[in-house]
Amino acid sequence: MNETLHYLLMVNHLAFQKALLMGIRDTNLTLGQPKILDYLRDHDGAVQKEIAAACYIEPATLTSILSGMENKNLIVRRMQGNNRRSLYVYLTKQGKELAKQVESEFCRIEEHALREFSDEERALLNDFLIRIKDSFEKKEDL
Amino acid sequence: MNETLHYLLMVNHLAFQKALLMGIRDTNLTLGQPKILDYLRDHDGAVQKEIAAACYIEPATLTSILSGMENKNLIVRRMQGNNRRSLYVYLTKQGKELAKQVESEFCRIEEHALREFSDEERALLNDFLIRIKDSFEKKEDL
DNA sequence: ATATAATTGTTTGAAAACTAACTATTATAA
DNA sequence: TTATAATAGTTAGTTTTCAAACAATTATAT
């Protein structure tokens, strides 16, 4: 059981997340916020539905995380164009600064985790993880 | 960002977990319970501290999950021997049945996720993930 | 032997996560 | 055109999660 795929994925994901939260404790970001910042850094102006899907959380969960972030002035939600159903989410100046800090911490931890991997091994690992991800996405028989 | 290690670990972990919950919906198990059952299946009689560490959750979190499981008669907590500080956790008969069901669902999903991996690739993937896990555990510089 | 430390689990209060039910908007079909 | 579907986000209620503070027990040190 300590060597099953699901266990190793869980352990590594949670260890990664824990390390991140340690590394950005000074920012006062709460549990759910860093991943949103990280996503918005590359997708500023995304719609909530898209953010929720990319971060693998439910829209209802995102609603509450974004409310917290809006109160801290990290993001703004705007209606836009003739679409009065979707809300477009933008980083504020403060949000962008924190997003940068989060990213650099993500990089630092990632480098630490992979420091003994060769370039070839890194590429292979990446390929493996993407193949697993793909297998979950086409879920005919799942 | 869609190909960083942390993102791929997160995505795969959450996709795995989501697939599991789909597969065992009929059991009425809540979010936090399957992993505890899965652990106890191999470690019946474990102490709470040990369970929390293995499942990568805080003792306080475990307290609340176990209370729910105790109410459903899936586990019992017992003091034992001359140690009046620790609580030993045992699966009930019902708990054991559900644990079995959870395990077989875990296996099914795992096989699905890895169905296009050769034996050699599986071994390599396992090795990679264990090395990453180890790198988090020795956190001199982290 | 007594005081101090460390260990184990719980409580409290907050954020995050889910599902199900809801409102409002937009698209499709009859 | 009007009725029905689907879409986007929110609310309500429960569980999960964490951190910090707590009680009880056990170990260590003086």
B104–A contact, CB cutoff 8 A: no
**Nearest C-alpha neighbor of B107 from the set A132, A2, A6:** A6
CB A97 within 8 A of CB A35: no
Nucleotide nearest to A60 (CA to C1'): D10
Confidence at A71, pLDDT banded by 50, 70, 90: very high
> Is the pLDDT assigned to residue B140 strictly greater than 90?
no
Nucleotide nearest to B69 (CA to C1'): D15
For residue range B104-125, what is the model confidence (pLDDT) as tens digits? Answer: 999 999 999 999 999 999 999 9
For residue range B5-29, what is the model confidence (pLDDT) as tens digits? Answer: 999 999 999 999 999 999 999 999 9
> Is the pLDDT assigned to residue B61 strictly greater than 60?
yes
For residue range A97-110, what is the model confidence (pLDDT) as tens digits? Answer: 999 999 999 999 99
Q: Any atom of strand C under 7 A from CB of B142?
A: no
Q: Contact A132/B106, CB-based, under 8 Å?
A: no
> Is the pLDDT assigned to residue A135 strictly greater than 70?
yes
pLDDT number for residue A41: 97
Average pLDDT over residues A25-47: 97
Q: Which bases of chain C are under 7 A from a protein CB atom?
A: 7-13, 15-21, 24-26
Confidence at A140, pLDDT banded by 50, 70, 90: low
Instruction: Round to whole Å and give the CA distance between A2 and A89.
Output: 40
pLDDT number for residue B2: 74
User: Nucleic chain C: which protein residues 47-106 of B have CB below 7 A from it?
Assistant: 47-49, 52, 59-60, 62-64, 66-67, 77, 85-87
- The DSSP-derived string for A69-87 is HHHTTSEEEEEETTEEEEE
How many Cα atoms occupy the beta-carbon half-sphere of B9 within 13 Å?
24
Confidence at A138, pLDDT banded by 50, 70, 90: confident
Which residue is it, tokens 């191999």?
B42
Which residue is it, tokens 């994901």?
A13
Identify the structural domains of chain A with CATH numbers, from first to last.
Answer: 5-141 (1.10.10.10)
Q: Please give the angle made by the CA atoms of A131, A122 and B112, to the nearest 5 degrees.
A: 20
Task: Give the ranges where chain A is alpha helix by DSSP (H).
Answer: 5-23, 33-42, 48-54, 59-71, 93-113, 119-137
**Distance from chain centroid for Cα A46:** 14
CB B129 within 8 A of CB A129: no
A37–B contact, CB cutoff 8 A: no
pLDDT number for residue B36: 98
Q: Contact A106/B6, CB-based, under 8 Å?
A: yes
Query: CA–C1' span, B90 to C2, in Å?
Result: 38
How many Cα atoms occupy the beta-carbon half-sphere of B50 within 13 Å?
12
Instruction: Round to whole Å and give the CA distance between B100 and B27.
Output: 12
